């Protein structure tokens, strides 16, 4: 608690900036509810609760987008993560979150030069034959420059903005604290897993801040597609990479957004759509790592109808258990198995209270809508959108890794339709599902699962006497302890501590009044304004104590 308090005091300037922006865009009630205003007022930073009429006339999603944009890279990234939460936010909110882009003015190259020369151990000219001082892309975390090595290789140099890490660290500390407060003060927010979302944001930002990690991702995906000529991943020049800079091959081709140009230059758009879909589905269902943002800006069409993928700062992970759940879900949908879908969705919902009867009814309605459709006619993006809407209507939230996966698949299908109006994701999904099912029920896989099950059962059986003996020993020695996780116990303790402090100050104030009254009747001793000095001093201290107690009670909302 002391560490958190000191951290909040250290971050007060940034906290004041955040709350000012929130209030300006009409979020003052949230600031009041979390008690942030009290902290700032005690620090001498008074807030004026005013929102302009122009802002209040804007729709709520627009206001939150504008606030996130103004607050900088941490909050822009938070908005981009919230854009994947189609299970929580309605379509109007998702549309606004998807507009969040962290395009900002670039840092002058002269400010970057000293760090680059320290990293490379010499002047830029010793590393590059050519280097464009003006970036061709600039975001809030890094900016990208084109260059050419002395061997003639065209490369791009991604450089992190100076001092950006300190600001992001402060933002993450504040957001972590606020997320805990939200779940504590607003129990309904727990189902949205606010703390978990902030944790996801923290992991994502820390990965993006370390440009070496992006370079490792490039190498990992390059290994996964080794020998596949249809997909190209940029090569990393490791000798010039560090935490604040990475150097990678420049992919020279047609940007993914310029579809008309690709068609005019003779590219096979249908083949490109299929190869892009196969690449991402392979990442998800076979490799277990996937590009989490396959939008047109991160795709390049290369000669020979090859697909080049860029920007591996945002990467998702699919565990073996999650992959099995996805396959079970698709199987249940194909077989119109309501119970199977219910089992998977309840696992995804986590440890929350579920109205299973209503959820089962909604699942049956969902399946009925696909009753007369063949598998090839199913639009995967529409299906995933319906599933997330079903979860939202039942006040359930998907795990963050699944929302990222769903968003990637929906984005991928949208890109496929831009290239080929007759594109069907399910046509490409079916062979991968068949491969996973074949591997799941192969004799080797069944034997491995059987051995693992027997081993786990044996461990439980043979370990049971030891566990029971340990339990009885602790009970006999009085060391048996039962831990209860009561969500609001800490908050109750803080309220109790605050009340005890006010009570103590009240008793001391009353004692000062009584003591000072007695001193006033005693003759002799120093005087001030013709009154006994110590008696007068006691009354003054008691007066200020009384003011503190009244303000403390008023701020706590008890009066």
> 269 and 200, same structural domain?
no
> 507 and 457, same structural domain?
no
What pLDDT is stored for residue 11 in this prediction?
67
Residues 180-203 have a mean pLDDT of 76
Residue 103 pLDDT class (50, 70, 90 cuts): low
What pLDDT is stored for residue 240 in this prediction?
92
What pLDDT is stored for residue 55 in this prediction?
67
> 517 and 398, same structural domain?
no
Continuous segment of H or E residues that includes residue 198 = helix 194-209
Query: Is 229 a domain residue?
Result: no
* CA–CA separation, 502 and 453 (whole Å): 59
Strands 299-302 and 531-532: unpaired
The torsion of the CA quartet 246, 249, 250, 252, rounded to 10 degrees, works out to -160
Do 519 and 535 form a contact (C-beta atoms < 8 A)? Answer: yes
> 372 and 464, same structural domain?
no
> 426 and 351, same structural domain?
yes
Quick one: tokens of 472?
């009885």
> 391 and 319, same structural domain?
yes
Whether the pLDDT of residue 132 is over 80: the answer is: yes
What pLDDT is stored for residue 509 in this prediction?
74
Q: What are phi and psi of 522, to 5 degrees?
A: -95, 130
* CA–CA separation, 159 and 92 (whole Å): 35
Residues 76-98 have a mean pLDDT of 79
* CA–CA separation, 164 and 142 (whole Å): 9
What pLDDT is stored for residue 392 in this prediction?
80
Continuous segment of H or E residues that includes residue 531 = strand 531-532
What DSSP state is assigned to residue 522? S
* CA–CA separation, 391 and 397 (whole Å): 6
Alpha helices in 11-156 (DSSP H): 12-24, 28-34, 36-42, 53-56, 60-71, 73-82, 91-98, 109-120
The torsion of the CA quartet 509, 512, 513, 517, rounded to 10 degrees, works out to 180
Query: Is 250 a domain residue?
Result: no
Do 246 and 236 form a contact (C-beta atoms < 8 A)? Answer: yes
Write out pLDDT tens, residues 483-519.
655 555 555 566 666 667 767 777 777 777 777 777 6
Burial (CB < 10 A; 0-12, 13-18, 19+), residue 39, is middle
Write out pLDDT tens, residues 11-65.
677 777 777 777 777 766 666 655 555 545 544 454 555 555 666 677 888 888 8
Query: Is 117 a domain residue?
Result: no
Residue 7 pLDDT class (50, 70, 90 cuts): low
What DSSP state is assigned to residue 394? T
Distances (CA, A) of 295 to 90, 169, 183, 257, 288: 21, 28, 33, 9, 20
What pLDDT is stored for residue 2 in this prediction?
40
Query: Is 240 a domain residue?
Result: no
The Cβ-side half-sphere exposure at 146, using a 13 Å CA radius, reads: 9
Query: Is 140 a domain residue?
Result: no
> 378 and 518, same structural domain?
no
> 463 and 425, same structural domain?
no
What pLDDT is stored for residue 129 in this prediction?
93
* CA–CA separation, 367 and 339 (whole Å): 11
Write out pLDDT tens, residues 413-422.
888 888 988 8
CB atoms under 10 Å from CB of 113, counted, come to: 13
> 290 and 181, same structural domain?
no
290 beta partners: 316
What pLDDT is stored for residue 513 in this prediction?
73
What pLDDT is stored for residue 1 in this prediction?
43
> 432 and 537, same structural domain?
no
Whether the pLDDT of residue 191 is over 80: the answer is: no
Residues sharing a CB contact under 8 Å with residue 269, sequence separation 6 or more, in sequence order: 259, 262, 263, 419, 420
CB atoms under 10 Å from CB of 379, counted, come to: 17
Residues 145-163 have a mean pLDDT of 91
The torsion of the CA quartet 54, 59, 62, 66, rounded to 10 degrees, works out to 30
Residues 544-554 have a mean pLDDT of 71
Write out pLDDT tens, residues 257-277.
899 999 999 999 999 999 998
Residue 165 pLDDT class (50, 70, 90 cuts): confident
Total domains present in the chain: 4
- Tell me if residue 309 falls in helix, strand or coil: strand
Write out pLDDT tens, residues 291-303.
887 888 889 999 9
* CA–CA separation, 178 and 278 (whole Å): 41
Q: Select from 14, 11, 12, 19 the least CA-distant residue to 37.
A: 19
Looking up tokens 């009584």 gives 514
Residues, the chain = 559
Lowest average pLDDT, out of 25-39, 68-82, 118-132, goes to: 25-39
Query: Is 59 a domain residue?
Result: yes
Q: What are phi and psi of 128, to 5 degrees?
A: -120, 140
Query: Is 480 a domain residue?
Result: no
Mean pLDDT, the chain, integer: 79
> 503 and 461, same structural domain?
no
> Interior CA angle at 446 toward 443 and 450, to 5°?
135
Which residues span the domain enclosing 196? 2-101+166-205
What pLDDT is stored for residue 308 in this prediction?
93
Give percent of the chain with pLDDT exceeding 70.
Answer: 80
Write out pLDDT tens, residues 348-396.
887 777 888 888 888 888 888 776 666 666 777 778 888 888 888 887 7
Query: Is 345 a domain residue?
Result: yes
* CA–CA separation, 85 and 102 (whole Å): 19
Quick one: tokens of 517?
């009254």
Alpha helices in 230-355 (DSSP H): 259-264, 269-282, 320-334, 338-349
Whether the pLDDT of residue 307 is over 90: the answer is: yes
Residue 6 pLDDT class (50, 70, 90 cuts): very low
What pLDDT is stored for residue 494 in this prediction?
63
> 322 and 273, same structural domain?
yes
Q: Select from 520, 191, 456 the least CA-distant residue to 350.
A: 191
Higher pLDDT, 239 or 438: 239
- Tell me if residue 324 falls in helix, strand or coil: helix
| Exposure string over 402-419, b if 16+ CB within 10 A, otherwise e | bbbbbbbbbbbbebbbeb
């Amino acid at each position: 608690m002391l560490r958190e308090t000191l951290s909040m005091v250290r971050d007060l300037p940034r906290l004041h900036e955040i709350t000012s922006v929130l209030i300006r865009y009409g979020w003052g009630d949230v600031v009041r509810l979390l008690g942030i205003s009290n902290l700032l007022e005690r620090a001498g930073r008074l807030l004026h609760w005013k929102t302009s009429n122009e802002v209040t006339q804007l729709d709520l999603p627009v206001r939150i987008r504008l606030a996130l944009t103004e607050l900088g890279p941490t909050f822009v990234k938070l908005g981009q993560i919230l854009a994947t939460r189609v299970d929580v936010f309605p379509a109007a909110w998702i549309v606004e979150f998807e507009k969040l882009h962290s395009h900002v003015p670039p840092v002058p190259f002269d400010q970057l030069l000293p760090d680059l020369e320290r990293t490379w151990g010499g002047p830029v000219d010793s590393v590059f034959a050519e280097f464009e001082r003006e970036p061709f892309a600039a975001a809030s975390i890094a900016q990208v420059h084109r260059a050419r090595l002395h061997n003639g290789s065209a490369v791009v140099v991604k450089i992190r903005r100076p001092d950006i890490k300190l600001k992001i660290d402060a933002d993450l500390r504040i957001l972590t604290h606020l997320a805990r407060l939200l779940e504590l003060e607003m129990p309904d927010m727990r189902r949205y897993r606010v703390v978990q979302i902030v944790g996801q944001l923290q992991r994502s930002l820390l990965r993006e801040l370390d440009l070496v990690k992006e370079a490792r991702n490039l190498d990992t995906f390059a290994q996964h597609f080794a020998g596949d000529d249809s997909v190209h991943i940029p090569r990393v020049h490791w000798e010039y990479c560090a935490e604040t800079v990475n150097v990678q091959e420049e992919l020279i081709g047609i940007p993914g957004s310029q579809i008309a140009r690709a068609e005019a230059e003779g590219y096979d758009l249908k083949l490109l759509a299929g190869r892009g879909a196969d690449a991402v589905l392979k990442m998800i269902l076979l490799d277990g790592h996937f590009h989490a943002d396959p939008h047109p800006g991160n795709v390049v069409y290369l000669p020979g109808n090859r697909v080049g993928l860029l920007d591996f700062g945002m990467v998702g992970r699919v565990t073996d258990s999650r992959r099995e759940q996805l396959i079970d879900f698709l199987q249940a949908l194909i077989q119109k198995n309501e119970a199977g879908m219910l089992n998977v969705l309840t696992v995804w919902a986590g440890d929350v209270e579920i109205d299973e009867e209503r959820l089962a009814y909604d699942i049956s309605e969902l399946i009925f809508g696909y009753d007369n459709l063949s598998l090839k006619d199913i639009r995967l993006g529409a299906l995933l959108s319906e599933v997330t809407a079903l979860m939202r209507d039942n006040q359930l939230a998907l795990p963050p890794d699944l929302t990222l996966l769903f968003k990637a698949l929906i984005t991928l299908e949208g890109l496929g339709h831009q290239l080929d109006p007759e594109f069907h994701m399910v046509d490409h999904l079916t062979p991968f599902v068949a491969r996973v099912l074949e591997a799941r029920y192969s004799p080797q896989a069944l034997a491995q699962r059987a051995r693992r099950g027997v081993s786990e059962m044996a461990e439980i059986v043979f370990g049971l006497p030891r566990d029971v003996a340990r339990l009885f020993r602790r009970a006999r020695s009085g060391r048996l302890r039962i831990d209860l996780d009561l969500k609001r116990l800490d908050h109750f303790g803080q309220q109790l501590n605050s009340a005890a402090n006010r009570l103590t100050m009240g008793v001391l104030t009353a004692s000062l009044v009584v003591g000072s009254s007695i001193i006033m009747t005693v003759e002799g001793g120093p005087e001030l304004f013709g009154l006994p000095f110590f008696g007068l001093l006691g009354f003054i201290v008691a007066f200020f104590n009384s003011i503190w107690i009244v303000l403390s009670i008023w701020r706590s909302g008890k009066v």
